Amino acid sequence: MRIILAPMEGLVDAPIRETLTKVGGIDRCVTEFIRVTHGMLPPRIFYKYAPELHNSALTEVGTPVAVQLLGSNADMMGRHGAKAAELGAGQVDINFGCPAKTVNKHKGGCVLMREPELMYEITAAVRKAVPADIPVTAKMRLGYDDRSMGVACGQALEAAGASEIVIHARSKVDGYKPPAYWEEIAKVREAVKNHVIANGEIWTVEDYWRCRKVSGCDDVMIGRGLIARPDLAAQIKASQSGETREPMSWAEVVVLVREYAAALQIRLEDKYVTGRIKQWLNYLRQGFAEAEALWPQARKIREVAPMLACLDQPLDLPQRHTNAA
């Protein structure tokens, strides 16, 4: 019953992986995708997206981090899979789920679900190039134009040797609009022998249990829900044991944001650090009334120090807001 932190381009980077895995409950992370085109990328690009490779592909608290690749050239994807393994990756993941227009326009991500045969070729090339003891996995959606391609694409990945398939329970056209079609994940799970992991619209402990029941998947991948509620994985783990866990307070969340900002400042200019904090705060609005109350003021701030000071200001809220399901 594992919980995996989903990759989110432009937000779930190494610093936030470190921050969230320290909270607890997360069993694995996946990097933002490394874009593979026609040239061989140097090691520094792998280390940029996965600095954990310097630490046996683990976060500071020992949570494994998979390296994710995105591209449509099977030969080059295989070469980059081999390079990731050479640099220390313990798992190589392939992105067939990204719905971004710019990515799809250049034949990457979810658009490949129109061509299960090409998905097979890419996955088979990576599987052949990566040492047998290192898992090759994949993430996909239910389809591109609609939700009709899940089974065919899942079977293509199975035949190519992917050991796990994460399925985001929407098509590309669905985007991120509710609901998530967990029942469609169940159809793919029943059609393949691979281990299938459910993803999509898990915001609370209650959502987790409903997703498990409908999809039939024991394991889940969570992205936005963990950004909105940093202790969601820990809450879920407690519920799996029949226990309760006191929800994280806003003051505790602010400590996390401060740690994240400090890590970002080592490598980014302040204006970019402030932008990342705003991205996180925007998601926190869904889990904490304090974030919602601060947002109108915080969104206008451009420097790190004033932003952090803004998060610390006292608030007169009607009642204490918790992130319990």
Instruction: Inform me whether the pLDDT recorded for 81 exceeds 60.
Output: yes
Give the model confidence (pLDDT) of 37-56 as tens digits. Answer: 989 999 999 999 999 999 99
Q: DSSP class of residue 320?
A: -
**What is residue 324's predicted lDDT score, i.e. its pLDDT?**
43
Residue with tokens 């003021």: 297
CB 220 within 8 A of CB 212: yes
54 is annotated as contributing to ligand binding: no
Report CA 271 to chain centroid distance, whole Å.
Answer: 24
Q: How much is the pTM?
A: 0.94
Is the pLDDT reported for residue 320 higher than 60? no
Question: pLDDT tens digit string along 96-105?
Answer: 999 999 999 8
What pLDDT is attached to residue 325? Answer: 40
Say whether 168 counts as a known binding-site residue.
yes
* Cα 156 to Cα 191: distance, rounded to the nearest angstrom: 11
pLDDT in tens, 125-177: 999 999 999 999 999 999 999 999 999 999 999 999 999 999 999 999 999 99
- Secondary-structure percent of the chain, ordered helix, strand, coil, rounded to 5: 50, 10, 40
184 alpha carbon, distance to own chain's centre: 20
- Percentage of the residues of the chain whose pLDDT score is greater than 70: 98
Query: Encoding tokens for residue 102?
Result: 């710019």
Burial of 316 (0-12, 13-18, 19+ CB in 10 A): exposed
Q: At what angle do helices 250-265 and 270-284 cross, to 10 degrees?
A: 150
Integer Cα distance of 19 and 105 in angstroms: 33
Can you give the pLDDT at residue 318? 61
Q: How many helices (H) and strands (E) does the chain have?
A: 14, 9
Residue 115 has a pLDDT of 97
What pLDDT is attached to residue 319? Answer: 53
Q: Across residues 114-130, what is the average pLDDT?
A: 98
CA distances from 170 to 74, 98, 144 (A): 25, 11, 9
Q: Tens of pLDDT along 228-266?
A: 999 999 999 999 999 989 999 999 999 999 999 999 999
The alpha carbon torsion through 146, 114, 193, 186 (nearest 10 deg) reads -10
Give domain 250-312's CATH number out of 3.90.930.60, 3.90.550.10, 1.10.10.10, 1.20.225.30.
1.20.225.30
Q: What is the mean pLDDT of the chain?
A: 95
322 or 62: whose pLDDT is higher? Answer: 62
**How many beta carbons lie within 10 A of that of residue 180, not counting itself?**
24
SS3 sequence of 49-87: HCHHHHHCCECCCCCEEEEEEECCCHHHHHHHHHHHHHC
Q: In this model, does residue 322 exceed pLDDT 60?
A: no
Query: Could you tell me the residue ranges of all domains in the chain?
Result: 3-240, 250-312
CB contact at 8 A, 153 and 191: no
Rounded-to-integer distance, Cα 243 and Cα 250, Å: 22
pLDDT (tens digit, 9 = 90+) per residue, 2-24?
Answer: 999 999 988 999 999 999 999 99
Nearest to 12, CA basis, from 224, 247, 306, 293: 224
pLDDT tens, position by position, 185-199: 999 999 999 999 999
265 marked among binding-site residues: no
Q: Which residues are catalytic?
A: 98
The per-residue DSSP string of 194-229 comes to: SEEEEES---SHHHHHHHHHHH--S-EEESHHHHHS
Distance CA 325, CA 322 (A): 9
323 annotated ligand-binding residue: no
Arithmetic mean of pLDDT, 60-83: 98
Q: Confirm whether residue 139 is marked as ligand binding.
A: yes
Confirm whether residue 223 is marked as ligand binding.
yes
Fold of the domain spanning 3-240: TIM Barrel (3.20.20)
The one-character DSSP state at 163 is: S
